[in-house]
Structure 1
Amino acid sequence: MNMNRRQMLATSAAALALGGSLRPARAAGVHADEIVIGAHLDLSGPAAAGMPALRNATDLAIAQANAAGGIHGRQVRWIVEDNGGQPQLAVRAVQKLIRSDEVFALLNSFGSGTNAATMGQITGSGTIAFAPWAASAVMHQIAGGDPHLFTTVQNYNTTTQRALERVIPEWGSQRVGVIYQEGPFGDLIRAGVNPALESLGMTVTEEAAYRPGDIDFSSQVARLRAADVDLIVAGTIIRETVGVMTEVKKLGWDDVNVLTAIPGRSTIVARLGGEDVEGLYGIGGWRLHGEDTTNEEAQAFIAAYREAYDSVPDENAANAYSYANWFLNSLRAAGEDLNAETFIAGANATTHSDFMTYGEQRFENNHAMPEMISIDRVEGGNWVPQTDPF
């Protein structure tokens, strides 16, 4: 699923060339009684285990809208294709969705590499791309500022920078080390670390890279231990975050703080890591709700999800539900005369606030703003906020 920046741009350029042959279909998928939208998800690849939550929650939001009468009298139909976590499969899936299914928009499509490979194809055809699950800054770079793209995933560089500028003075950190994934994700983490340290008159003491798919982080942690860092910035996702913390605990390294970027601040990390991740800090970009939440809106979502799918939704499901509802509200704001232009105007006129957000958001340059974050810590198997959102 991960690609280096050159591969991502090359693949997306090829996809753009394919997309360029498509006639702009700004009202494709809009019928008298129906709006047809789509998505490509990793149903058979490395992230397949997490896809039911994303798919079910999006289905739930759409089903609730349809049950309430639809969008200006039109029912919404969502077609899902498998990208297998592979860019070339994603390109073929998007070709089908745009050419055969004639979708109006793609909603909640999953994967950095797969979204990068298809973004030029989507926006080049005049199709709306809403809430792709990928690095937002990279998506906008590939799309070249195209107004058909709306991103909701927080930028890893800006959120990492703001978090470090907050915690380094508070914690008194003097020697900062970085463990990062090779490729675009790691590049974005480092693009947040470096300006944060520069603003504080500091530089990175030591850094260590890992390759996508690595499961052993002993050498990276040992390298930072030898450099005597007192803060590790972990540009890691789920399994990798647990791996780094496991090595820290094996070494008995008690006088170092570990701060994971947004992708690693996950309930799955807290659950799977167990004792090894106790004390881990994370950058939070949305609110977390367990079954014991007192938030009425979250309670209603959890109950509806449990009734529909006989399972408890995780934070990925909650985010997918949140993004889907923002999309549906944008459809409503577009009015009865729905096409790409009216949707773009409608989306830019909406605000979004629900049980997942830290505050009211709106699109600025087609990206969800403001990017509010918190610093959280794993305590007793749960993420506990250490700061108010900022």
Structure 2
Amino acid sequence: MSYSRRDFLSHLSLGLGSVVALPGLTMLDNTKRLSSAAGLAELPESEKLGVALVGLGRYATGQIAPALQETTLCRLAGIVTGTPRKEEEWGRKYDLPESNIYNYETYDQIADNDDIDIIYVVLPNSMHAEYSIRAAEAGKHVICEKPMATSARDCQRMIDASQKAGRKLSIGYRLHFEPHNKEMMRLGRSEVLGNAEQMSGTHSFPLNDPGAWRLDKELAGGGPLMDVGIYVIQAGLYTMGQLPTSVMAWDETQNPENFPEVEGTIRWELNFPKDAVLYGESSYEDRGNNFRLEATNGWAELSPAYSYSGIRGDTSEEPMDFPQVNQQALQMDDFARCILEDDRTIVPGEMGKRDMIIMEAIYESAETGREVSLDFDKEEGYIRPLAE
């Protein structure tokens, strides 16, 4: 009996479901379970879900493409680039057929390529919406890098396009698959150290290149908040497992002449129910990479908290002792598993939209000097992915 590629993948998903979705596991157990399940069920290279990268900048080159060499359920199958030199270099390095190499003029032709199942959008922020929507319209599942878009309105357009096409949409929130951050989720949500009283975090790095696209508001949508401050917001929300109620923010740019279009430094206070607060800061004028939870009976801290590797954690009870993992590989394998099992990703478009709503409120507060209330439609799925 002859099996098609789709028949094979459909058959495989039945086996994966019985391995991955086991009840009663801790969050760290689930990370280990995902890794071992992916290893046990590893597909032949030709049968893995094909991923095409759109945008071959530093992150795609240094992180995502290498991570795809370690995945067990998906593989690098194609690229989209506007640079002919990269077409040759990537095609040779990753043994990509010419038929799977596209530029921005031929992008929509990817709809006719059955070798590509997932499109991973790794472009400047303002291009996320357009290329994610076109990917969905081409019949492909989508992973979009953070921030999801530059407005909540565009986020909703992306969600609508994926739903209309019957395709899945995931945001590149890699830290949901990282053991130390998953432990912080467990400590906060399960109140292991008592009730959360306050959280604090910063993610900053000096940006000294005046020609960087991140300083162009039209391309970036904002400054360090959109770029790396979003990690601090994410940490606060997945530690609390609750939606914030309001925010107060301040633009504290130290050298405005270096940042004519976007903020150089921004600070905010994100308020949660039961008087818990997240004190956050992000900057292109300083360095910082940490997150801390203060609770009634103890504390927990990650430093560094958001790096691709080398994350370390400690608590008032005992140090965190978890392995370093390839966050991007786990993230992409989990999305492939969701496609195979028709499961819901834990980092869906609704989560990306939620974070965009919060960042828009932070900018509004910093501009007006007033506290801004946050009102979420709880039926839209902002909470459910956080609680899984």
Shorter-chain TM band: 0.3 to 0.5
Q: TM-score, normalised by structure 1?
A: 0.39
TM-score, reference length from structure 2: 0.39
